[in-house]
Amino acid sequence: MSPWIAVDWGTTALRAWRMSGAVAQECRSSAEGMGKLAPGAFEAALLRLIGDWLGRERTEVVACGMVGARQGWREAAYRAVPARPLDAPFLTVAPEDPRFRLHIVPGLSQADPADVMRGEETQIAGFLASVPDYDGVIGLPGTHMKWARIAAGEVRSFQTCLTGELFALLAQHSVLRHGLGAGWEDAAFVAAVAEMQAAPDSLMAALFSLRAGGLLGQLSPDAARARLSGLLIGAELAATRALWQDQPVTLIGAGTLTGRYRQALQLFGQASSLTDAEAVTLAGLCAAYRKLQESPR
């Protein structure tokens, strides 16, 4: 199998793997995500990262994520669910540099309620490559949390929650920023999740209590930060309970945030398993490359 390049291009970061078949020979990353690039700057950003990987023979580059967004390199039209994550033809872009050709994996859309995803469909495909008969829910923690219902190899429906971005906005740009620390108190997180499980309609008042509790000396800055996270994640789980309750749940992610979701689900009485995000992203890009090789040119 010819050498090729796998690319995961998000809003804040660009990551690439130099591939030999399904084996990654090298991985590189940069901070040149879609959000930092002007129109017309994408090819140069990619070449800065992988230019020395290119030889005389044209190299196929398979990319997922925000590279295919309206503000990306070229918009790859969404595919409507229910759909298999990688069934549709990819968008092929001929760059100015003749040493490579770019193939963009399209995202998925849902009409009612309106929703979209880019990049997560590739992670789901990577997970299904090893668990093809999975019937359950996949959660993908991040700035925008995704809950996807999976059956018979298809994404049947999904829902996005703005939880991570809301945490960042409140922590950095609201009055709450004056009382939040950089540390963590787990008991405060657990208590906040339990409050939202019992009374999610109290969220708005509970958020301001973070400020008041700090001013009155009732809440330390580290406890306030943990409590903010617990309130938001707890409210999200209360709102989405019908999607995941009593279902097999797999969380695709890494690091602290995914662990917080797993802990919160346990507090709601729901078990979940963890799958590494980087591993399934690469597996999904490998699956996309195999489909590309099998399709007529």
**3-state SS, one letter per residue, for 183-198:** CCCHHHHHHHHHHHHH
Residues 63, 124, single domain; the answer is yes
Give, as one character, the DSSP assignment of residue 83.
Answer: B
Question: Is 24 domain-assigned?
Answer: yes
The string of pLDDT tens digits covering residues 97-143 is 999 999 999 999 999 999 999 999 999 999 999 999 999 999 999 99
pLDDT of residue 296: 63
Burial of 109 per CB tally in 10 Å (0-12, 13-18, 19+): middle
Greater pLDDT, 87 or 228: 228
Greater pLDDT, 224 or 88: 224
The token pair that represents 71 in the structure block: 């503000």
**CA–CA gap between residue 166 and residue 105 (Å, rounded):** 28
Give, as one character, the DSSP assignment of residue 13.
Answer: -
Number of domains in the chain: 2
pLDDT higher than threshold 90 for residue 179: yes
Question: Is 153 domain-assigned?
Answer: no
**CA–CA gap between residue 148 and residue 285 (Å, rounded):** 19
Which residue in 40, 50, 42, 55 sits closest to 15, CA to CA? 50
Residues 259, 286, single domain; the answer is no
Mean pLDDT value across residues 231-242: 98
Interstrand relation of 249-253 and 136-140 (parallel, antiparallel or unpaired): parallel
The token pair that represents 181 in the structure block: 């620390």
pLDDT higher than threshold 90 for residue 1: no
Per the CB < 8 A criterion, the answer to whether 73 and 119 are in contact is no
Residues 117, 206, single domain; the answer is no
Residues 221, 283, single domain; the answer is no
Of the candidate ranges 8-12, 181-185, 210-214, 291-295, the one whose mean pLDDT is the lowest: 291-295
- CATH number of the domain that 94 lies in? 3.30.420.300
Residues 106, 216, single domain; the answer is no
pLDDT of residue 87: 84
Residues 118, 35, single domain; the answer is yes
**CA–CA gap between residue 4 and residue 53 (Å, rounded):** 9
Per the CB < 8 A criterion, the answer to whether 156 and 81 are in contact is yes
**CA–CA gap between residue 224 and residue 233 (Å, rounded):** 14
pLDDT higher than threshold 60 for residue 279: yes
Residue type for 236, please?
A: E
Question: Is 150 domain-assigned?
Answer: no
Residues 260, 284, single domain; the answer is no
Residues 227, 111, single domain; the answer is no
Greater pLDDT, 60 or 296: 60
Residues 248, 286, single domain; the answer is no
Residue span of the structural domain in which 247 resides: 161-276
The string of pLDDT tens digits covering residues 39-92 is 999 999 999 999 999 999 999 999 999 999 999 999 999 999 999 999 868 999
Which residue in 167, 121, 157, 113 sits closest to 140, CA to CA? 121
**Which residue in this structure is represented by tokens 């790859």?**
76
Question: Is 202 domain-assigned?
Answer: yes
pTM of the model: 0.94
pLDDT of residue 82: 97
pLDDT higher than threshold 70 for residue 297: no
Mean pLDDT value across residues 31-39: 95
Per the CB < 8 A criterion, the answer to whether 81 and 109 are in contact is yes
Residues 177, 256, single domain; the answer is yes
**CA–CA gap between residue 13 and residue 75 (Å, rounded):** 18
